Structure 1
Amino acid sequence: MTPTGATADPADRRLETTTTVGTISNPEPATPDSVHLRKAVEAYLGRHPDEREALSKLLAALGRPDDGPSGTPLLGHVTCSAAVVDHDLRVLHIAHRGTGALLVPAGHVEAADRTLLTAALRKVTEATGIPASALSLTPQFLGAPADIIVDESAARPAKGAPAHRHYDFRFVFYLTQEPPPAVVLRDEEVSGCRWLPLGEVASPSLRAKLLGAGLDGRPEPVNASVLIHDGAGRYLLHLRDHRPGIWEPGVFALLGGGRKHTDRTLRETLLRELAEEVPGLRLEGLEPYAVEEATSEDGLRIPLQVFTGRWRGNPDRLPLREGVLLRWFTPDQLERLRLSPGLQDLIHEHASHSATAGEPPASAPPWDEDGTTVLNGVGVHLHLEDDDGRVLLGLRHPASAYAGNTWHFLAGRCEQESALTCLVREAWEEAGLVIDPADVELVHVVHVVDSPDGQPLLQLVFRAHRWKGVPEVREPDKCLAWEWWPRHELPDPIVPYAREAITGILQGRAYTELGWEARP
C-alpha cells in the first residue's frame, strides 16, 4: 500500500466525483459510519499488522470503538474499489477516458451505501453493467478489504477543493459465470475495459495482495448452516430477528452463518456459529449434506454449505443469543410459515430420503424422555501472571455476543477436542502466544449458570508457567486489547465468574459454584 504522505502510483488513482458523502471530517457521520469503517480497518490490520502506522491517521480520525460515531476530524474522502476475478484468474480493469489509465472500478461512498462492500458492488454495476448477482465473495478475503490505500490529492483552487486524502477500501469478488458476462460501459468517464492476469494488475499494492492470496477463480461456499432433525420427522427452525441489518429478517431459517478468516473449515465455521447463537446445542452425526445458493442483502450470490445433524432436546431450554426463538416443525407444517427461500424444498427432500424418518434416533443422546435435560458445556481459560504477579485480561469487543465491553480471561469453548488442545489453540489464535501443554496446570473450576434456563457450564481455568510471545490482538472482532492487571485491582466491568476464579486462585480454592441459587 501507499503510506500516508507518499505519492501514489499513477495506477492507484481513482475516478473523481463531486459527492462528498464519506468525507471523514463531516460533523454528521456518513453511511457507512465510522464504527463500520473502523471495523473494516481493524479486520484488515489483523491480517496486515505491518501497515498499522500507514493507516494511523485514518484510525485517529475514526476514534476508538467507544468514542461514538466520530473521532478526530481529518480531511479525507472514503472510496471503494472492486477487483472482479474471472475463472481464468484475470481481473477486470476499466480505462479512464481522460488519462487512459487502467484501474479497477472505483468511486466515492454515497449516502445510499449501507456498507463499504455495497459501495464497491454499486461501482462495478455502474461502470460495467455487471450485477451483484453475477459475483460472489472469495474464501480468501470474504467480506473484508483486501487492500487499503492512502492517496494524497493536491488542492484544486479553481474548484474550491483543498488538499485532502483518499482512503480507498479495495474488495475482491469472483465471477460466478463462465464465460464472463458482456461488459456494458455505463460511466461516461470510462472509454473501455480489459481483463488483465493477476501479474499485470495495474496497482502494485493490490497486485501483491492478489498474488499472495492463493486465488483459484472458482466460487465456493463461504457460509455454513445445519439442517437439524430429531430422527423422527421433526426439523428445528430458527426465527430470525425482524430488524434492519439482519439477513432474511423475520423468517424461519436454519442456524448458521458466514465464514471468518480464523475458520479453517466450514465445519469449524458452523460449530463457532452454533456456539455463539445457541451455546449448549450439541449435535450428533454432523456431516455435509448439500450446497445451496442464497442472495445476500447486497445482492451477492452466496454458495451455502448445508450440514445435517441430529438433536432431540427441548429448544425452550436452550440459551438463544441471536434471533427470536427455536421450534420443532414437521414437513406438513412448513407451508404455514414464512421460510427462507428454498428451505421448504430442502426439508422435503431430506425427509423423503431419510432412512430414519418416523423412527427413533439410532444413537440417542442422553436426554430424559421428555427431552428437557441439558448437557453441561465446557470452557477453557488461560490464567497468566507476569513477574509482578499481574493477571492477563482481554477487553471483549462491544459487539461480542457474550460480555461485550467487559474484561475476561483468554478463553474458548471446547468443541471436538481436548481441553488442553483447545487452550493451546485459543492462546495462539487470540493472542499469538505459544504454550506447551507440559507447562500448564489446572488451578480452578467454576461451575456456572448464567440464568435459570441457561446451559450449565464447567469453566476450567489453567495456569501456564511458561509461554512464548507477547500478547497481541489477533482477533479484533472479538478482543480490543490485552492488559496486565494487579490481582487485587481488577478492572470493572469484568466477567463475574472470571473475578470469582481469580479470587479463588488467590485463596487456594480449587472450585466455585456461581448462579445455581437461581436455578429451579
Structure 2
Amino acid sequence: MPPSPCEIRETVETYLGRHPDERDALAGLLAVLDGPADVTARTTLPAHVTCSAVVIDRERRVLHIRHRATDGLMLTPGGHIEAQDRTLLAAALREVAEEAGIAPRALCLTWQLLGSPIDIDVHDIAANPLKGEPAHQHVDFRYVFYLADEEPPAITLQDEEVSGAQWLPLPEVTSPTLRVKLLHAQLDGQPKPVNASALIHDGAGRYLLHLRDHKPGIIGQSGAFALLGGGRTHADSSLEGTLLRELSEEVPGLRLEGLEPYTVEEATSVDGLSVPVKVFAGRWRGNPDRLRLHEGVLLHWFTPDELDRLRLDPATRDLIRRHAADNRPGGRQATATAPWGGDSRTVLNGIGVHLHLEDDEGRVLLGLRHPDSVYAGNTWHYLAGKCEGESALTCLLREAWEEAGLRIDPADAELLHVAHVVGTPDGQPLMQMIFRARRWEGVPELREPDKCLAWQWWPVDDLPANIVPYTRAAIEGIRAGRTYTELGWPTPVRRTGSRS
C-alpha cells in the first residue's frame, strides 16, 4: 500500500518544523490531505505527490539524469508513487533503482537528515496531450542518500525514460531550492553510523538477545533474534543517547554497567538501505524474565555455542563470537576471591538519588509506585531516579521537577545518607544517595502517572507497611543519626590475628 495521508502529513509537519516559512507553499497539499483524494495517485489533479532521490558521492557530487519526458533536462532521479511503495522514502529508492540501476544496498542515510526529506518542492508540469494529462503540479519530496562505498556504482540507465547521467558538484545542482538546502546542510558525502546497538553480556560468557516481532516489511530482522537498539532521531544528541533512549523505550529498567563503544557494523534496513551501526558493549547480570518488554517477544541469555540454533543474522553471530573470543571468562581478573567471600571482578555500581523531604510537621514525602513498575510495584518509596550521565545533584533536581513539579535550588540540597544496596531485579549493586532539601518551591503533583500513583506525607514513626525496604532502613538510619546503611550484602567477616 502507498503511504497514508496521516504518514504524509506527519512528514510534512516535521519538514515545516525546520522550514516554517514554506507553510503557505504547502497549504494546498495539507488541504487535500484532509479530503478523500489520494494525493499519491498521478490521476489526482490539480496536484499530486512525487518522490526524488538525491544521491551524493564522496566528492560531494550529486547524481543527475536526463529525463526524456522533460526535453532533456538534467534532474535528480524521481517520479510518481506506485502501489507497492510502502513509504515516501521507499518510492525514492525505487525510482533511483529503476532509472539509474543503483540498488538500495549501495546507499545509506545521512546523519544530518536521517529519513526526512531535505526539500519539498512544488513545481508546474506542462500538459501532455499524448497521455491525456492537463497541466498540473508535482509536490516533490526529495530524500538525500550517501553512497555506501567509496567508488560510485555502475550506472544502468532506464533507456525508455532516461538518456544520460552526470555527477554534478553541489554548487551546480539544477534545482535552485534543492541547491540552497544542500549547501546549507554542509553534506560531506561521508557515511556515519545512524543506528546504535547494545552488545549485552554478563561477563561470564552469556549474551542477551532480543526476539523481534514477526512483522515482515515493517520491522528489520523480523521474527529473528537481534541486539537491542535502534535508529537515531533528530532529538538524540549522540549515538550513546540514541541507545539509552531505545533501551528505555524497549526495556525500561535495564541498566548496563561499563557501557562503551565496541565496533561499527553494517546492517540492512527494512527498505534495503545499508545502515552503519555503532555497537556499544555493556554488562548486565540480571534475570530477563523480570523485565518489562515493551517491544518484541522475549529476551534470553545465550552462549556463543548456542547461536547456530537461532534465527540470527550471520553478522550478529560473528560479532558475538568475536567479542567472546576477546573477553573469555575465567581470566586472572575473574578468578580471585575477595576477602569477604565474593568475586573480585570489578563490578560497577549504579548511582541512585533520592529526595528526603520533610514538611513543617516532620513528615516525610513518599510516592506510591505504579503496580506495573519493574521494581517495587504498589510500594511506597522516596522520589528517586538513577543518574543518566550527569552529576548526582543534577539528577536530583531533574527528577524532583520531572516527577513532582518541585523546584530546588542546588544551594538548598545536602547529602544526608547513603544506602549501599544489592539484590535489585537487575542484579546491579546500587549506591543510593539520599539528599535533603531545606527549601523548595511547588506542591508535589503527579507528573508521571505511569510511575507514581500518589504523593503523601508520612510520619517518620508511622511509615506504611508496604514501603521499599531500603527506604525504611534509610529513614530509620537518618532518625538515629547514622549516615550509612548496607542492605543485601554478606556480613563482613572480622579478621583477627597477631603481629609479630
TM superposition score normalised by structure 2: 0.68
- Give yes or no for the alignment of 1:276 onto 2:249: yes
Supply the distance in 2 between the matched residues of 1:157 and 1:423 (Cα, whole angstroms).
Answer: 70
- Cross-structure match for 1:363: 346
- Cross-structure match for 1:180: 152
Supply the distance in 2 between the matched residues of 1:63 and 1:378 (Cα, whole angstroms).
Answer: 49
Encode CA deviations 1:143-194: one digit per residue, 9 max, x unaligned. 1111111224466677544554322110001112333122121142221111
Change in 2 beyond 3 A, CA 1:153/1:273: same
8 Å Cα contact 2:50/2:141 also seen in 1: yes
- Give yes or no for the alignment of 1:197 onto 2:169: yes
Supply the distance in 1 between the matched residues of 2:394 and 2:184 (Cα, whole angstroms).
Answer: 30
- Give yes or no for the alignment of 1:228 onto 2:211: no
Instruction: Give the C-alpha shift of residue 495 in structure 1.
Output: 6.4
Aligned match of 2:268 in 295, 303, 324? Answer: 295
Instruction: Give the C-alpha shift of residue 216 in structure 1.
Output: 1.3
- Give yes or no for the alignment of 1:62 onto 2:33: yes
Supply the distance in 1 between the matched residues of 2:386 and 2:82 (Cα, whole angstroms).
Answer: 41
- Cross-structure match for 2:314: 341
8 Å Cα contact 1:82/1:106 also seen in 2: yes
Instruction: Give the C-alpha shift of residue 111 in structure 1.
Output: 0.4
Instruction: Give the C-alpha shift of residue 232 in structure 1.
Output: 0.7
Supply the distance in 2 between the matched residues of 1:279 and 1:327 (Cα, whole angstroms).
Answer: 16
- Cross-structure match for 1:257: 230
Supply the distance in 2 between the matched residues of 1:38 and 1:102 (Cα, whole angstroms).
Answer: 29
Segment drifting more, 191-200 vs 339-348 = 339-348
Instruction: Give the C-alpha shift of residue 239 in structure 1.
Output: 0.5
Change in 2 beyond 3 A, CA 1:158/1:194: closer
- Give yes or no for the alignment of 1:149 onto 2:121: yes
User: 1:67-106 residue pairs with structure 2 within 5 A?
Assistant: 75-97=46-68, 98-106=70-78
Q: Percent identity?
A: 59
Supply the distance in 2 between the matched residues of 1:129 and 1:315 (Cα, whole angstroms).
Answer: 45
- Cross-structure match for 1:323: 296
Supply the distance in 2 between the matched residues of 1:333 and 1:35 (Cα, whole angstroms).
Answer: 43
| Higher RCO (C-alpha under 8 Å, 6+ residues apart) | 1
Aligned match of 1:125 in 69, 73, 97? Answer: 97
Change in 2 beyond 3 A, CA 1:419/1:200: farther
Instruction: Give the C-alpha shift of residue 31 in structure 1.
Output: 0.7
Supply the distance in 2 between the matched residues of 1:377 and 1:251 (Cα, whole angstroms).
Answer: 38
Supply the distance in 2 between the matched residues of 1:165 and 1:179 (Cα, whole angstroms).
Answer: 36
8 Å Cα contact 1:126/1:187 also seen in 2: no
- Give yes or no for the alignment of 1:171 onto 2:143: yes
8 Å Cα contact 1:233/1:357 also seen in 2: no
Amino acid at match of 1:177: D
Supply the distance in 1 between the matched residues of 2:5 and 2:225 (Cα, whole angstroms).
Answer: 32
- Give yes or no for the alignment of 1:109 onto 2:99: no
Supply the distance in 2 between the matched residues of 1:279 and 1:361 (Cα, whole angstroms).
Answer: 29
Aligned match of 1:42 in 1, 5, 13? Answer: 13
Larger radius of gyration: 2
Listed as ranges, the gaps of 5+ residues in structure 2 are: 335-342, 356-384, 400-406, 414-424, 428-436, 468-500
Supply the distance in 2 between the matched residues of 1:85 and 1:365 (Cα, whole angstroms).
Answer: 44
Aligned match of 2:239 in 255, 262, 266? Answer: 266
8 Å Cα contact 1:234/1:331 also seen in 2: yes
Supply the distance in 2 between the matched residues of 1:328 and 1:115 (Cα, whole angstroms).
Answer: 35
Change in 2 beyond 3 A, CA 1:161/1:377: farther
Instruction: Give the C-alpha shift of residue 77 in structure 1.
Output: 1.4
Amino acid at match of 1:210: L
Amino acid at match of 2:10: K
Change in 2 beyond 3 A, CA 1:133/1:326: same
SS in 2 for 1:319: coil
Supply the distance in 2 between the matched residues of 1:441 and 1:149 (Cα, whole angstroms).
Answer: 54
RMSD across aligned positions (CA):
4.4
Supply the distance in 2 between the matched residues of 1:243 and 1:41 (Cα, whole angstroms).
Answer: 26
- Cross-structure match for 1:213: 185
Instruction: Give the C-alpha shift of residue 343 in structure 1.
Output: 1.4
Supply the distance in 1 between the matched residues of 2:179 and 2:284 (Cα, whole angstroms).
Answer: 47
